[in-house]
Amino acid sequence: MDPQFKAIADHALLVTFAEEISDAAHGAVLALDAALGANPPDGMIETVPAMVNLLVSFDPILTEHDAIKTYVQGCLGASLKARTEGITRTVQVCYEAPFSPDLAAVSSATGLTPEAVINAHLSGDFRVLMYGFSPGYAYLSGVPGAIQVPRKPAPVRDVPAGSVIIAGPQCLITTLKMPTGWSIIGRSPTAILTGDPDAPFLFDVGDRVTFQRIDAATFAQLDKASDHG
Amino acid sequence: MAEAAFTVAFAGPLVTLQDAGRPGHMRFGVPQSGAMDRLAFDAANAALGNKSGQTGIEISLGGLVLQCTHGAATVAIAGGDFTVQLGTQKTRSWTILTVQKGERLSITAGKVGSWAYLAFAGRITAPEWLGSQATHATSGFGGGALQSGQTIILSDTAVREDRLGDIPKPDFQTSRPIRVVTGPQDQHFAKETVTQFLTDSFAVSDAFDRMGMRLKGPELPLAGALSIPSEPIVRGSVQVSGDGVPTVLLADHQTTGGYPKIATVISPDIDRLVQHRAGQSVRFADITSAQAVAEARSYAQQKAAYLAEVSVARGTLAQRLMRENLSHGCAFD
């Protein structure tokens, strides 16, 4: 996959693999991200993987766009082999009331029973596509077609941290009290912002995620031990 | 080591603790944060001989009033043209003062500028997140926003008589249009639209905070109804929403987003852009990415020379008088 290069101001290069979202484009993003992470060019500050492109930011005192572009081109062939499969992370989720205010609406929109919606969600093959919006907001791909629902016309305010929300093919576990137009189908006690200085975020982009169902009593017990109040 | 305590008698909205920020976490949805005007923030620290990036207070147009309840500390105030009052003594930002126990320091909006920085000869005790006390305003992570009634504790404080007085203002910032490199999604706009962005004047709107600055001006229509896949955003990205309104993303920006970016403000020009106020006009001019790198290098050099000059202690009043005597002959013979 031959990428396009775009200079961003004085301090970054955007490497774009495709116009449309596809597994191949995201795979190429992850492969290049891994290659640059393992062998960063001089002056690189960080990389930011997204759906179809990778941002490479750099210190303009030390390097410039053309040097980064040449370095990236040199990585492209080798980088496809460097792609990692990611680590599988487990996220616990309680689908019971009052943590799942939109479960009934998803159920009626899809014609499935609430129990079938839950089972479909648990069966999903989720991967971390990218982070965005707010710290720790990891966009997961892999919501099964049977329970894909559009966003609500207007966002709901003050949705608690830890909410498990879905829209279209994507799922997200919120980390802050925020407005959202996505459907809230459960609540997780699993901290995405771990509080561990050595590994402050539970996922890296490319990781796989499986959801594990817990009941309200287990949730209460685990939530007490975790960070979000 | 000496300590000092300040009670926050009043803090307007968006008065936060800031440092040099936390680079390197954008892949986890975390922008760098840190001071909006990095030049003024660095000048305040340099003027006290502080370590670069030491935590200080970013003051919005809402203003800040502190009451020293314990100890004393020399402070530096830089950025914009804010009104500073210590007891009955009235002055302006770009100044160094000592605040003693019982004294009240107020820093409020003056005629020009949106952000001022208060640096202390001393270390502020505050929470850290990911190795930085910079406040990420929407989450509150980091040192945090100041609240009226709160107490700020400082350690390792000092009174620095040798540093009192004015801080020279930087004179190397250009007054030319804000320089941008077009893109990375300028292909989603008609050529005339990009030209219009680069020639017309825009006004800063009220929607201006640490996340971004929304502009008012001609509509910048997208070429065709399209939604691009969410892409990385940087500080300085000018994104255009579906209604054709541009927003410049700033210190606490989202790290990814699906609106096309028509251009990106070069980093040397962000410091002066953020000092604009609602209603003030802004013009943009495009340069090549190679020119942008050259400008960044030249700005870094000028900034380093300026900070080096600001960081030299000028001596106590007695020492300054002595120096005057030596250079101008024998005034006190």
pLDDT digits over B71-120, tens only? 999 999 999 999 999 999 999 999 999 999 999 999 999 999 999 999 99
Residue that is last in its domain, among A82, A105, A126: A82
Chain A, nearest residue to B300 by Cα: A61
B191 shares its domain with B46: no
A60 shares its domain with A137: no
Q: Between A103-110 and A114-123, two packed helices, what is the crossing angle to 10 degrees?
A: 90
Task: Specify the residue for token string 């002595």.
Answer: B322
pLDDT beneath 50, residues of chain A: 228-229
By CB neighbour count within 10 A (0-12 exposed, 13-18 middle, 19+ buried), where does B184 fall?
A: buried
A102 shares its domain with A72: no
B274 shares its domain with B148: no
| CA–CA dist A76, B34 (Å, integer) | 34
A128 shares its domain with A69: no
B223 shares its domain with B101: no
Residue that is last in its domain, among A54, A82, A110: A82
Residue A143 maps to which CATH number?
2.40.100.10
B118 shares its domain with B241: no
Contact A21 B229 (CB under 8 A): yes
pLDDT digits over A80-100, tens only? 555 567 899 999 999 999 999
Residue that is last in its domain, among A28, A63, A82: A82
Number of independent structural domains in chain B: 2
A110 shares its domain with A204: yes
Residue that is last in its domain, among B120, B143, B172: B172
**Residue B320: what pLDDT?**
75
Residue B273 maps to which CATH number?
2.40.100.10
pLDDT beneath 50, residues of chain B: 329-333
B184 shares its domain with B130: no
Q: Looking at the partner chain, which of A16, A20, A176 has a beta carbon nearest the beta carbon of B139?
A: A176
A78 shares its domain with A46: yes
- Residue span of the structural domain in which B85 resides: 3-172
Contact assessment for residue B231 and residue B185, using Cβ atoms and an 8 Å cutoff? yes
Chain A, nearest residue to B264 by Cα: A9
A198 shares its domain with A120: yes
Whether the bond between A153 and the residue before it is cis, its omega within 30 degrees of 0, is: no
Task: Assess if residue B318 is contained within a domain.
Answer: no
B128 shares its domain with B191: no
By DSSP bridging, strand B95-100 and strand A178-180 are unpaired
Residue closest to A8 by CA, chosen among A64, A83, A61, A75:
A64
**Residue A229: what pLDDT?**
38
B229 CB neighbours in chain A (<8 A) are: 19-21, 50-53
By DSSP bridging, strand A126-131 and strand A208-213 are antiparallel
Residue closest to B245 by CA, chosen among B273, B225, B221, B223:
B221
Paired tokens of B327 = 């250079």
A77 shares its domain with A97: no
A118 shares its domain with A147: yes
A144 shares its domain with A60: no
Q: How far is CA A168 from the centre of its chain?
A: 14
CB atoms within 10 A of CB A172: 21
A69 shares its domain with A145: no
**Residue B192: what pLDDT?**
96
A132 shares its domain with A113: yes
B40 shares its domain with B137: yes
ipTM summary value: 0.92
Residue that is last in its domain, among B106, B140, B172: B172
The string of DSSP codes covering B212-277 is EEEEESS----SSS--PPPEE--TTEEEE-TTS-EEEE-TT--SEESSPEEEEE-GGGHHHHTT--
A10 CB neighbours in chain B (<8 A) are: 181, 266-268, 289, 292-293, 295-296
B26 CB neighbours in chain A (<8 A) are: 46, 48, 55, 57
Number of independent structural domains in chain A: 2
- Residue span of the structural domain in which A61 resides: 4-82
Nearest CA to CA, how far is A26 from chain B (Å)?
11
| CA–CA dist A160, A165 (Å, integer) | 11
Task: Assess if residue B317 is contained within a domain.
Answer: no
CB atoms within 10 A of CB B206: 10
B12 shares its domain with B142: yes
B166 shares its domain with B183: no
What SS3 state is found at B52?
Answer: coil
**Strand stretches in A94-131, DSSP E:** 126-131
B130 shares its domain with B77: yes
Contact A14 B136 (CB under 8 A): no
Residue A72 maps to which CATH number?
3.30.1360.40
Residue closest to B43 by CA, chosen among B4, B83, B88, B94:
B94
Residue that is last in its domain, among B133, B148, B172: B172
A63 shares its domain with A162: no
**Residue A154: what pLDDT?**
86
Task: Assess if residue B57 is contained within a domain.
Answer: yes
**Residue A84: what pLDDT?**
63
**Residue B50: what pLDDT?**
97
Average pLDDT, chain B: 94
